[in-house]
Structure 1
Amino acid sequence: MRAVEFQEYGAPEVLQVVQAETPEPGPGQVTIDTAYIGVNFADLKARADGYRVQSLPFRPGLEVSGRVRAVGEGVEGLVPGQEVAALVDGGGYAEVVVAGAVTAFPLPQGLDLRTAATLPTVVPTAHALLHEVGRLRAGETVLVQGAAGGIGTVAGQLARAAGAGAVYGVVSSAAKAEYALKHGYDEVFTTDTFSDDVRRATGGRGVDLVLDPVGGDTLRRGLDALAAFGRLVSFGNASGAEPWHVGQPELYTQGRSVGGFSILALAQSAPEALRALAERAFAKVTDGTVSLPVTAEFPLAEAAEAHRLMGGRTSTGKLLLRVAD
């Protein structure tokens, strides 16, 4: 089978197409003949910086869609030929992928494989940020960093559907702002001025909930943009800054709080909780509450081009790799 791996860290060209042995499922696992593969920023961090890489060579990829090829011992509820979307802890850039059965989700009726590849990381993450961790209530205001990305696209729509009083986004360019305004956002600010813009838009009050995948100084400024009793949910450190620390000075004076979320960590520590979360989140797609546009699609052999596009910070929505030629 074909797969895409890298043997050293570096620019997108370190991604190479290789011929690899077709895997077999172990106990509690399935193998999947992949149709589409989601491209995520974590894939770029793995390739460039070794994020979550245990050893080289390494095969990136966290989410796939396709058909079950074979099931391992003890697997129930999944059968060969069944269409699924799956969350995997690396290894997704391949024609055949191994996934834990608990994180392989049968597709709801009417959901096609191309759309399904956009779901496993993005939609459950956005749902958890707003609801399970962020505890959003109707009428509250929300600020989302990276509003034009995959998670930002879904978060804007989910917040609007939940009755948010106002949904604000932060992006890096005017083109991304135009995109975000079509996906649930009332106003969209730029990275440099968002904290001042939030105060202006809210009459000095601040927002009730901030979603932050950036970390570093952006996270600090997000804390400053919170209203009294506001919550910030961190779900990444795209800035590469030193790990942040929050304590009494930032939280006690106005009753603010900070939470965190990682879908990969949840998959390892509480897979059944992830499965329940995914079912709730996928329902928002099948009932038409949210949609995640695929804005670019590349053949598997052109994974490096997908990485270049995402790494250039000009992409919006979701990027996919297509396995079939």
Structure 2
Amino acid sequence: MRAVQFEQTGGPEVLHVVDAAVPEPGPGQVSVDVAYTGVNFADLKARAEGYRVPALPYVPGLEVSGRVRAVGAGVAGLRPGQQVAALTAGGAYADVAVAQAETVFALPDGVDLRTAATLPTVLPTAHALVHEVGRLQAGESILVQGAAGGVGTVVGQLAKAAGATVYGVVSSAAKAEYARKHGYDEVFVGDAFADDARRATAGRGVDLVLDPVGGDTFRDGLAALAVFGRLVSFGNASAAEPWRVGQQELYPGATTVSAFSILTLAQTAPQELRAVADRAFRLVADGTVTLPVTAEFPLADAAEAHRLMGGRGTTGKLLLRVGGTG
């Protein structure tokens, strides 16, 4: 089978297609004939920095859609030929990928394979940030970093559906226009978002901040919170020192900081992740949420997909076309 791998970390040029053995599912696992693979920022961090790479060479990729190829011992409720979406622990840039059965999801009616490839990481992450971790309520306000990205696109729609006032932060005017079309009431461009959020809320601040960036952005997010506000960290795209916050920062506004990682939850509490994913997938099936595919590349052009995403000019979701719908 074809797979895209890298033997050393570096720029997009280290990605190349190889002929690899077809993986077989072990106990509790499922193999999938891949139709589409989602491209995520975590893939770029794996390639560039070795993020969550256990050994080299390594095949990146965390999410696929396709058809079940085979099931391992002890797997119930999934069968060969069934259309699914799956969250993997790597290895998704390939014709065949393997995932734990707990993170393989039968597609709801009306969801095709191309759409399904946008779902396994983004949808549960966005749902958890807004609801299970962020606990957003009707009438509250939310401030979202990366409002035009995949997670940001879904969060805007979920937050608006929950009855919140939705503020976003982006890096360009073009991204701001995109975000306003996907649930955002107001979008701030640049690094002065804490002041912008204060002005937009008449000095009060927002009830919930979602931060995938870390570093100075994390600290400015705290400054944008209202009394009793919550901040959820779900990444460290800045590669800054891991955040530290204590009583001195939290006592004045009685604020709360929490964190979410879908990859960690998949390892530590897969059944909880499955419950979140089931709730999130239903919102796609009923039309509450859509995630536009804004760029699609053949598997062999994975490096081009990485260059595009690495340029920080993308919106929505990027896909690799592996087997397509055939």
TM-score range, shorter chain: over 0.9
Aligned length: 324
Distance, in Å, in 2 between the alignment partners of 1:27 and 1:53 is 23
Distance, in Å, in 1 between the alignment partners of 2:31 and 2:157 is 33
Mapping for residues 258-273 of structure 1, pairs under 5 Å: 258-273=257-272
- Aligned with 2:315: secondary structure? coil
Mapping for residues 141-156 of structure 1, pairs under 5 Å: 141-156=141-156
Residue deviations 1:127-157 (CA, integer Å, cap 9, x gap):
0001000010100000000000000000000
Residue deviations 1:49-104 (CA, integer Å, cap 9, x gap):
01001111011000000000011111100000000000001110000011111100
Distance, in Å, in 2 between the alignment partners of 1:31 and 1:278 is 19
The residue number in structure 1 matching 2:208 is 209
Tell me the CA shift for residue 254 of structure 1: 1.2
Tell me the CA shift for residue 204 of structure 1: 0.4
Residue deviations 1:263-297 (CA, integer Å, cap 9, x gap):
00000000000111100000111111010000000
Which 5+ residue runs of structure 1 have no aligned equivalent?
none
Residue deviations 1:161-201 (CA, integer Å, cap 9, x gap):
0011x100000011100100100001100232111110110
Mapping for residues 58-207 of structure 1, pairs under 5 Å: 58-164=58-164, 166-207=165-206
1:211 counterpart letter in structure 2: L
2:71 counterpart letter in structure 1: V
Check the 8 A contact 1:299/1:324 in 2, yes or no.
Answer: no
2:321 counterpart letter in structure 1: R
Distance, in Å, in 2 between the alignment partners of 1:10 and 1:217 is 26
Distance, in Å, in 1 between the alignment partners of 2:54 and 2:31 is 22
Tell me the CA shift for residue 253 of structure 1: 1.2
Mapping for residues 8-27 of structure 1, pairs under 5 Å: 8-27=8-27
Task: Using structure 1 for the length normalisation, give the TM-score.
Answer: 0.99
The percentage of counterpart residues that share the same residue type is: 76
Distance, in Å, in 2 between the alignment partners of 1:25 and 1:245 is 40
- Aligned with 1:320: secondary structure? strand
Structure 1 residues 147-156 or 182-191, which shifts more?
Answer: 182-191
Distance, in Å, in 2 between the alignment partners of 1:195 and 1:266 is 30
Task: Using structure 2 for the length normalisation, give the TM-score.
Answer: 0.99
RMSD of aligned residue pairs (Cα, Å): 0.7
Distance, in Å, in 1 between the alignment partners of 2:270 and 2:34 is 22
Check the 8 A contact 1:169/1:188 in 2, yes or no.
Answer: yes
1:177 counterpart letter in structure 2: A
- Aligned with 2:210: secondary structure? strand
The residue number in structure 1 matching 2:53 is 53
The residue number in structure 2 matching 1:251 is 250
